[in-house]
Chains A and B, each alone.
Chain A
Amino acid sequence: MDARKPSTEAPATALDVGLGMVALLVAMLVGYGWSLGFDLANAHNGLIAASFSAVGLYVVRMRPRHREGWLLVAVGVVHAVMFFGRQYGSTEPPLPGASWIGWIGVWPLPLAIALFGWTFMAFPQGDMLSPRWRRIGLAMYAVAALMAMTSALWPVDYARTGLVAPHPLDMPGSHVAAQVWGYLQPSYPLFQVLWTVAVVVRLRRARGDEARQMRWLVYAAVMAIVLLAMGLVVFGSPVPGLLALPLIPVAAGIAIQKFRLYDIDPVINKTLVIGSLVLVVTTGYVALVVGVGSLIPAGTGWLSLLATAVVAVAFEPLRRRAQILADRLVYGHRATPYEALSRLSAQLDEAPEELLNGIAATVANAVGATEVVVWVGEEARLLPQAGWPRPPEPSEPSRLGELDRGAHRHVRPVVHQGTVRGAITLRKPAGEAITPTEVRLLADLVAQTGLVIAQQQQAQELQAAARRIVTAQDAARRRIERDLHDGAQQRLVTTGLELGLLADQAQASGGPELAARVKEIRAQLLETTADLRELARGLHPMVLTQAGLDAALRMLADRSAIPVRLTVAIPGRLSREVEVTAYYIVSEALTNAARHSGADVVTVEVAKVVEGLRVGVSDDGCGGARQRDGSGLEGLADRVAAVGARLTIESPLGGGTRIRTVLPCA
């Protein structure tokens, strides 16, 4: 890691020279090592040295600040040194200085293993997952350092090496050292568990690019392990596994440099399918030929024929199963048709906007699409309404025929009762076609979508109708109030004025009885105008139109028969529709509370929040208010529904009444 600093600050040429020298050093060590002969026990070091150095040097040449690149280089160099040391030290007859040079090939092993592991754990950026993982990695180094030191001072790790010269140091206490080594050596499998856990944790957490990079690495590592296992089992040789080792750095390099160019998922998918088929077919064939052959003494030719027939018959169903399994593993939780449909019906309860997004997600999940868009409208005017993984950008209306623009885009028109109601478009990963199963599933989902869209349109029409009714009703009330104000009320006031004049004249002309009579009529008239005033105010509160919701709610509080705790937090005026609805909610709730609840106090809270205007009225009365037929609360619920909101009424017996809603403000 220390090499990184000077290199990033040095000019490019200096970096190139430095990298060239490292490459030359590794090439000399590995090349000279190979020339000394082939040693199966040491060959992996040479392969690691060559492949990791090559990939690492390529990465840092392109991206000098890439920490993972430098880690790869470090792994390569350390293994090159070890490879050379052991090759040199194992050569017969002993070469000059074989004791010391062979020693160099042995003792760094624990450190090399720790570095190898760290490189895995830090993939793809060269950083550990978290400070805690960093501490775990450092602990691993500490153990490795202790092991390396022991191995450097005493010949504790010499038995396996086949070095021709003895350990160069002859320190006392080799007995104790061997014991310590015996305790420390089980750390190796522990290290391996650590890397595996770190990689799995990162794989699970990773999203987007990082997830794709991780899949490259894990794919290569698993392939190498599988090849190693197969080689050992089938051929009894580690050579296939050894040859697969360079896969790992190459995959890492691809992931770091070109992960955007190739998507590994289809490769993993096909590998899993083919791998599992080969495994099953081979096992089946062997089981049949060997198993049946041992029971029935028949010609091997017949058995082979039988086995081939069985395998041939079983192949297609097996392939399908394997494909489903592979899909599951690679594309995450891709649903079976039943799962997809049941998930869709579970989403039917959700709000309309959410519902179409839910459909998009279900479709994506069901067929493993990378992008799904749900379009709604007529055949010639389709608008994107929902999408997965994200809602679509608003755009101009499109014709159905235009929707297949763009690569790998599949279009499914949504038809309900013979008319196009919308469409679903989806994109699959490059190189993946829609399978017959997916075609059927998609058809079912599209049919469901037709129902959903039709139902949604009906709901929208219904709401629009309710809104029109409420608006018309409000307009009528306003008009009647205005007519009263300019007509009847005005006339009555004028009549009162005339009566007042008449009373004064009667008084002046010496008719006190007549004057008293006129005054009495005037008093009756004033009562009438007062009644009319309240009636008109109830029809439509002018305060609301003139001064807004805040003033109108204060007026309601002034006139309430029960004390009101009023909190209003609204910035200026809102739309007439919202103001009127909020006003009637509070007005009706206060009236109800006064009539039925026996409450001591009513709390009214009206506030503008992100989702709209929050209106809440609660009292401490007897509760038990219900949306009875024809009651004020039912009318309120209808009114609130007309503006696209929902009225919540909680009124347990003896527990007060709480009426709440959030009115959407456009």
Chain B
Amino acid sequence: MRVIVADDAVLFREGMARILTEAGFEVTGQARNGAELIGFVRRDAPDVVITDLRMPPNFADEGIEAAAEIRSFAPNVGVMLLSQYVEVHHALRLMDEFDGAVGYLLKDRVSDLSAFAADVRRVAAGHVVIDQELVSRLVSRRRERDPLAELTDRERQVLALMAQGLTNAALSEELFVSVKTVEGYIRNVFTKLGLPPGEREHRRVLAVLQFLRQQ
């Protein structure tokens, strides 16, 4: 699987290239900023780009802007955004604007190589990945009348994993239950929270994130 990495810090960029190679990826380019990344993708589109969210010149959200442009001319390229912080408004934007095949993780996650490699592959396969810290912050958010109190512990766990972008198949693996059981949990969660059942995976994530934030 071919990847391009982008980060303005050379040590991190090269470290990441090394671990990705170690994990069996082919790193076809290392960009220092968004513009360079776009240029690399135009020349030779990879399966996934892994990019820092905050890069030169403005250190704002150049990573997302670059990713959005890449998707406009290369819609099949998966996008994995890494950042020092994970913010809900970015996650909502990614779920809303990118038609799946997008991930948003803390940079810390690269230190668990196998988990990170798995997440990159999920993005390459068109799924979505949302950092667990962001999700657990939303799930444990203090609420006046907590609708999540209606859920059982298992349903709560399913909700959190679903919000991280896990597919039904991935959920069944994670929880050691059958896909049918997973589907049952999800139905219960959606009924109890009054959410419309989402058909597409990233739509489902978006709905859950929005629900968690609003309540």
Which residues of A come within 8 Å of B, CB atoms? 482, 485-486, 489-491, 493-494, 496-501, 504, 522, 525-526, 529-530, 533, 536-537, 542-543, 545-547, 551, 554-555, 558-565, 600-601
Q: Taking A482-B59, A554-B213 as contacts, is the C-beta distance between A497 and B89 under 8 angstroms? A: no
Judge whether B18 is part of the interface by a CB distance below 8 angstroms: yes
A184 to B203, CA, bound (A): 91
Query: What 5 pairs across the A-B complex have the smallest Cβ distances?
Result: A496-B111, A500-B111, A551-B89, A563-B144, A493-B107
A-contacting residues, B17-61, CB 8 Å: 18-19, 22, 54, 59-61
> Do B144 and A533 have beta carbons less than 8 Å apart?
no
> Do A497 and B137 have beta carbons less than 8 Å apart?
no
The listed residue (A522, A545, A562) touching B111 by CB distance below 8 A is A522
Which residues of B come within 8 Å of A, CB atoms? 8-9, 11-12, 15-16, 18-19, 22, 54, 59-61, 84-85, 87-89, 107-108, 110-114, 137-138, 141-144, 213
> Do A563 and B12 have beta carbons less than 8 Å apart?
no
A554 to B54, CA, bound (A): 20
> Do A504 and B114 have beta carbons less than 8 Å apart?
yes
- The interface residues of chain B lying within 8 Å CB-to-CB of A525 are 111
> Do B54 and A504 have beta carbons less than 8 Å apart?
no
> Do A494 and B84 have beta carbons less than 8 Å apart?
no
Nearest opposing residue in chain A for B18, CB measure: A501
A501 to B144, CA, bound (A): 44
> Do B108 and A529 have beta carbons less than 8 Å apart?
yes
> Do B16 and A497 have beta carbons less than 8 Å apart?
yes
> Do B144 and A601 have beta carbons less than 8 Å apart?
yes
A207 to B18, CA, bound (A): 86
A615 to B209, CA, bound (A): 27
**Which of B60, B61, B142 has the most C-beta atoms of chain A within 10 angstroms of its own C-beta?**
B142
> Do A496 and B110 have beta carbons less than 8 Å apart?
yes
> Do B87 and A555 have beta carbons less than 8 Å apart?
yes
A482 to B112, CA, bound (A): 26
> Do A537 and B19 have beta carbons less than 8 Å apart?
no
- The interface residues of chain B lying within 8 Å CB-to-CB of A501 are 15, 18-19, 22, 113
A498 to B113, CA, bound (A): 10
- The interface residues of chain B lying within 8 Å CB-to-CB of A542 are 54, 85, 87
User: How far does the Cβ of B213 sit from chain A's closest Cβ, in whole Å?
Assistant: 7
A6 to B134, CA, bound (A): 85
> Do A485 and B84 have beta carbons less than 8 Å apart?
yes
- The interface residues of chain B lying within 8 Å CB-to-CB of A536 are 84
- The interface residues of chain A lying within 8 Å CB-to-CB of B141 are 558
Q: Taking A482-B59, A543-B87 as contacts, is the C-beta distance between A560 and B142 under 8 angstroms? A: yes
> Do B113 and A504 have beta carbons less than 8 Å apart?
yes
A554 to B61, CA, bound (A): 18
> Do A493 and B84 have beta carbons less than 8 Å apart?
yes
- The interface residues of chain A lying within 8 Å CB-to-CB of B114 are 504
Nearest opposing residue in chain A for B64, CB measure: A546
The listed residue (B9, B12, B16, B89) touching A547 by CB distance below 8 A is B89
Nearest opposing residue in chain A for B15, CB measure: A497
User: How far does the Cβ of B127 sit from chain A's closest Cβ, in whole Å?
Assistant: 23
- The interface residues of chain B lying within 8 Å CB-to-CB of A486 are 8-9
**Which of A491, A496, A526 has the most C-beta atoms of chain B within 10 angstroms of its own C-beta?**
A496
A555 to B113, CA, bound (A): 29
Q: Taking A545-B60, A546-B60, A600-B144 as contacts, is the C-beta distance between A500 and B89 under 8 angstroms? A: no
- The interface residues of chain B lying within 8 Å CB-to-CB of A482 are 59
Q: Taking A497-B19, A501-B19 as contacts, is the C-beta distance between A558 and B137 under 8 angstroms? A: yes
> Do B84 and A558 have beta carbons less than 8 Å apart?
no
User: How far does the Cβ of A171 sit from chain B's closest Cβ, in whole Å?
Assistant: 91
Q: Taking A493-B108, A554-B88 as contacts, is the C-beta distance between A498 and B15 under 8 angstroms? A: yes
Nearest opposing residue in chain B for A525, CB measure: B111
Q: What are 26 A-B pairs at a CB distance below 8 A? A: A485-B84, A486-B8, A489-B84, A491-B11, A493-B12, A494-B12, A494-B15, A496-B108, A496-B111, A497-B15, A497-B110, A497-B111, A501-B18, A501-B22, A504-B113, A522-B111, A530-B108, A536-B84, A542-B85, A543-B89, A547-B89, A555-B87, A555-B89, A560-B142, A564-B142, A565-B144
A529 to B16, CA, bound (A): 18
Q: Taking A497-B19, A501-B22 as contacts, is the C-beta distance between A558 and B213 under 8 angstroms? A: yes
A497 to B109, CA, bound (A): 8
> Do B111 and A499 have beta carbons less than 8 Å apart?
yes
- The interface residues of chain A lying within 8 Å CB-to-CB of B12 are 490, 493-494, 497
- The interface residues of chain A lying within 8 Å CB-to-CB of B143 are 563
User: How far does the Cβ of A543 sit from chain B's closest Cβ, in whole Å?
Assistant: 5
> Do A500 and B59 have beta carbons less than 8 Å apart?
no
> Do B142 and A500 have beta carbons less than 8 Å apart?
no
The listed residue (A498, A555, A561, A562) touching B88 by CB distance below 8 A is A555
A500 to B59, CA, bound (A): 27
- The interface residues of chain A lying within 8 Å CB-to-CB of B138 are 558
- The interface residues of chain B lying within 8 Å CB-to-CB of A500 are 19, 110-113
Q: Taking A501-B19, A533-B84 as contacts, is the C-beta distance between A562 and B110 under 8 angstroms? A: no
- The interface residues of chain B lying within 8 Å CB-to-CB of A601 are 144
**Which of B11, B85, B213 has the most C-beta atoms of chain A within 10 angstroms of its own C-beta?**
B85
User: How far does the Cβ of B141 sit from chain A's closest Cβ, in whole Å?
Assistant: 6
A637 to B89, CA, bound (A): 30
A526 to B107, CA, bound (A): 10
- The interface residues of chain B lying within 8 Å CB-to-CB of A555 are 87-89
- The interface residues of chain A lying within 8 Å CB-to-CB of B85 are 533, 537, 542
- The interface residues of chain B lying within 8 Å CB-to-CB of A529 are 108
User: How far does the Cβ of A559 sit from chain B's closest Cβ, in whole Å?
Assistant: 7
A543 to B89, CA, bound (A): 9
- The interface residues of chain B lying within 8 Å CB-to-CB of A558 are 88, 137-138, 141, 213
User: How far does the Cβ of B93 sit from chain A's closest Cβ, in whole Å?
Assistant: 9
> Do B142 and A561 have beta carbons less than 8 Å apart?
yes
**Which of B61, B87, B111, B141 has the most C-beta atoms of chain A within 10 angstroms of its own C-beta?**
B111
> Do A490 and B9 have beta carbons less than 8 Å apart?
yes
The listed residue (A526, A537, A559, A563) touching B108 by CB distance below 8 A is A526
Other than A491-B11, A493-B12, A547-B89, give 9 A-B pairs with Cβ distance below 8 A.
A490-B12, A494-B9, A494-B15, A497-B110, A501-B22, A543-B87, A558-B138, A559-B137, A563-B144
